[in-house]
Amino acid sequence: MPHRRWTPEEKIRIVLESFNTNIGLAELCRKYAVNPTVFYAWKEKFIEGGKQALTRSRRNGGEGELQAENERLKQLIGELTIANDAFKKSLQGEKGRW
């Protein structure tokens, strides 16, 4: 069976249905054609982090954090470059004094 991509909303709906019905897990998984292992992973993520945990995927899970870190590092590189240039200029001025 081909791998199906589930939206966060679909995952939440299925997990919440498991809490709100008397349907057994096997029947619920058959109803939506979801592997029970996958369902348990969704349920665990939902319990730990709610909707936000099911929204993040492995590929873009920390994308926002990575972009923020990237910007911080770019700023640091810029500051260090300026400091390095100033240091080089001060050393060039000192050469003439010796």
* CATH number of the domain residue 41 falls in: 1.10.10
Distance CA 98, CA 84 (A): 21
**Total number of domains constituting the chain:** 2
pLDDT at residue 90 in the model: 85
The DSSP secondary-structure symbol of 4 reads: -
pLDDT at residue 26 in the model: 93
**What domain range includes position 98?**
62-98
**DSSP states of 34-58:** --HHHHHHHHHHHHHHHHHHHH--T
- Average pLDDT by stretches of 10, the chain with 98 residues: 78 90 90 93 84 62 77 86 87 71
Q: Which among 56, 72, 88 is the end of a domain?
A: 56
